Amino acid sequence: MIEAALGEDLFGRAKHIRRDIVEMIYRAKSSHIGCALSAADILTALYFGGVLRIDPKSPKAPGRDRLILSKGHAVTAVYAALAERGFFPKEKLLEYGTDGTTLASHIVLDVLPGTETSSGSGGHGLPMGVGMALAARADKNGARIFVLSGDGELEEGSAWEAMLFAGHHKLSNLKLIVDRNDLQDGVDGLRVSDVLDLNPLDEKFRAFGWEVDIVDGHDPAALIPALKKETARPHAIIAKTVKGKGVSFMENRGEWHGKCPNADEYAIAIKELS
Amino acid sequence: MRFSVIETIYKAGLKDPNLCFITGDLGHMNTAEFRRDFAGRFWNAGMSEQNIIGMAAGLALSGKQAVAYSIVPFITLRCYEQIKVDVCDHNANVIIVGVGGGFAYGSAGPTHYSIEEVAALRVLPNMKIVCPVNPTETRVLTEQILRAGGPAYIRIGRGKEQDFELGYVPVLGKAGVLRAGTDMTIIASGTIGTEALRVADMLQEKGFSVEVANMHTIKPIDADFIADRAKSRRAIFTLEEHSVLGGLGGAVAEVLAELPARPLFKRFGVADIWPEVVGSQQYLRDHTGISAEKVALAIKRILS
């Protein structure tokens, strides 16, 4: 068991976040449960592992670290983590998927404390992260910019434009976390490597002037030191993950990108996460 | 106009350390002073417009004012979704400066024409669109846009535009009258306003008193001006170096269509086709029916 900076049991936190994800998506009859479960441990490490320098009481502090969610599909995981961290009350999560809510199925605006950018269209996070990293460098405020990306969305050219720029300008305050579950949307178990092979991803980052670490994306003991690491160049953390992690029948199954659990599946999922 | 916009932004940047400038590999000569004096807030990001707009939004979301500068089609349509989501959805303080509106890059062919971007940008909430007629107006409106803040798009010519006395002080969002007249009003936008002035000369010879208005701000459109002229004029024409669909003509038509009564109305712009030839800007204007000669001829036919 890992004791986090906040003195909390990180595995317990991750379970809370996963239960909230399942709850939100089941109630909303929504989708993208596999994507959110995949990123739950990364978000736990960021928000509860003493990584992000943020304060729920002052969510707009100029020198705060930024987390840009580029993989908008995992928005329920971010909402759950923000509520768990105290940015807004947990009851707010029950609004997810209801008419008129500000909790969109992808982040819409920074209308919720703790969210930084809209998301939902792939390949947008890293360019915006580059801009924020440049601003933090100009302001010398010590802010670090974390971008959480899926691996499928690295098929977008905009991500590579930004990688090239960040490497050229040695943006050492920029970290890209790749949630590397290697599963593309689809019921037929399509792997990212079947669609457009990103391998060898670490070598690509190095060739673009980045430092790279490959870690187990579900192990806080591996994630936290990587996320805290100071580098001289932009830093890519390839977090090897399992889509649907934590719910046995969802793990590594592509169809849980778009499927919503039925009542029986919901009950089993909650039981497994208790 | 390039020099006017760059000089205005440079002067503003001397006063405002939060002003940042990103060029998409354009203006190596014009931006030498930026490079020299704005270390840490000037970047040539190369040919990577999606990244340029995204990073401009990121800078703006961190409290900066970011100007993104390149040739019109590349800095508007190549990265349109970034403008929609990263800039407009966030209401981010990003100002896009597009060089070479219309057929300014005539001999370079359709990849470099910009005859559709105003229509595309006009539907994005929060976006302001400005198309100045000459260097003086470029200077004044760029100052106003920098003060008002983005999202905004400034569409300028390629360079070497003649300067001339405007006869009014440009105000963002308010049409300016380049030439007084009482029978009819030609509403133009952008550098083609000089053609509208020639149309007025040609029609005056035939005894018509023609007003030439410059709708330099296409969004927000000056609906009051249009409504006023709709009451007092026999005819209203629009002239733009852009598709007849969705740009100035479309914006004016939308206002006119919702008025209880309206005068004769006709849009002059580029028809909904690809020009199959290349040539100078003036050649292409004539080829597509938006030169002064072609427009004057068409108006005479309409009125006879």
Mean predicted confidence (pLDDT) in B3-12: 95
- Return residue ranges of chain B for CATH 3.40.50.970: 2-156
Q: Which pLDDT value is given to residue B213? A: 98
Mutation for testing the A interface, residue in B47, B51, B70, B126 having most A CBs under 10 Å: B51
CATH architecture of B2-156: 3-Layer(aba) Sandwich (3.40)
| Mean pLDDT of the A31-37 span | 93
Per-residue pLDDT at A4 exceeds 50: no
Q: What is the pLDDT of residues A186-239, one digit of tens each?
A: 666 788 888 899 999 999 999 999 999 999 999 999 999 999 999 999 999 999
pLDDT number for residue B276 = 85
pLDDT reported for residue A110: 57
Provide the b/e sequence for A223-252 (b: ≥16 CB within 10 Å). bbebbeeebebbbbbbbbbbbbbbbeebbb
Return the pLDDT at A63: 95
- Residues B134, B168: Cα–Cα separation, whole Å: 13
| Per-residue pLDDT, A5 | 41
Mean pLDDT estimate for chain A? 92
Tell me the nearest-neighbour CA distance from B43 into chain A, angstroms. Answer: 10
A140-197 pLDDT, tens per residue?
999 999 999 999 999 999 999 999 999 999 999 999 999 999 887 766 678 888 889 9
Residue A126 vs residue A184, higher pLDDT: A126
* Tally of domains in chain A: 1
Interface probe, candidates A102, A112, A118, A134, chain B, greatest B C-beta count within 10 A:
A134
> B90–A108: do the CB atoms touch at under 8 Å?
no
CA angle A102, A108, A109 (to 5 degrees): 90
Q: What is the CATH number of the domain that holds A134?
A: 3.40.50.970
Nearest to A158 among B54, B61, B90 (CB): B54
What's the pLDDT at A3?
34
Question: Fold for domain B176-303?
Answer: Rossmann fold (3.40.50)
How far apart are alpha carbons A233 and B271 in whole angstroms? 51
CA distance B7 to A137: 26
pTM for the predicted model, two decimal places = 0.96
pLDDT > 90 fraction of chain B, expressed in percent and rounded = 92
Interface membership of A108 toward B (CB under 8 Å): yes
Could you report the per-residue pLDDT of B110-156, keeping only the tens digit for each? 999 999 999 999 999 999 999 999 999 999 999 999 999 999 999 99
Distance CA B70, CA B47 (A): 9
B92: closest chain A residue by CA: A117
Q: Over the stretch B53-104, which tens digit does the pLDDT of each residue have?
A: 999 999 999 999 999 999 999 999 999 999 999 999 999 999 999 999 999 9
Looking at the complex, does the CB of residue B61 fall below 8 Å from at least one CB of chain A? yes
What per-residue confidence (pLDDT) applies to A258? 85
State yes or no: pLDDT of B28 exceeds 90. no
- The answer to whether residue B245 scores a pLDDT higher than 90 is yes
**Nearest chain B Cα distance for residue A122, angstroms:** 11
Domain of residue A199 covers 2-272
Q: Which residues 240-299 in chain B show a CB within 8 A of chain A?
A: none
Q: Give the model's pLDDT for residue B133.
A: 98
**Token couple for B121:** 């940008």
Class of residue B157 by CB neighbours under 10 A (exposed 0-12, middle 13-18, buried 19+): buried
Domain with CATH 3.40.50.920 in chain B: 176-303
| Dist. CA A78–CA B261, nearest whole Å | 54
What is the reported pLDDT for A186? Answer: 66
ipTM exceeds 0.85: yes
Closest CA to B129 of B146, B111, B145: B145
Long-range contacts of B36-41 (CB under 8 A, 24+ apart): B37/B10, B37/B13, B38/B13, B40/A137, B40/A138, B41/A138, B41/B13, B41/B17
pLDDT (mean) for B1-20: 96
The backbone region for B100, taken as left when phi is positive above 0, alpha when psi lies in -120 to 50, beta otherwise, is left
pLDDT at A7 over 60: no
Mean pLDDT across chain B: 96
Question: B253-266, pLDDT tens digit by residue?
Answer: 999 999 999 999 99
What pLDDT does A189 receive?
A: 73
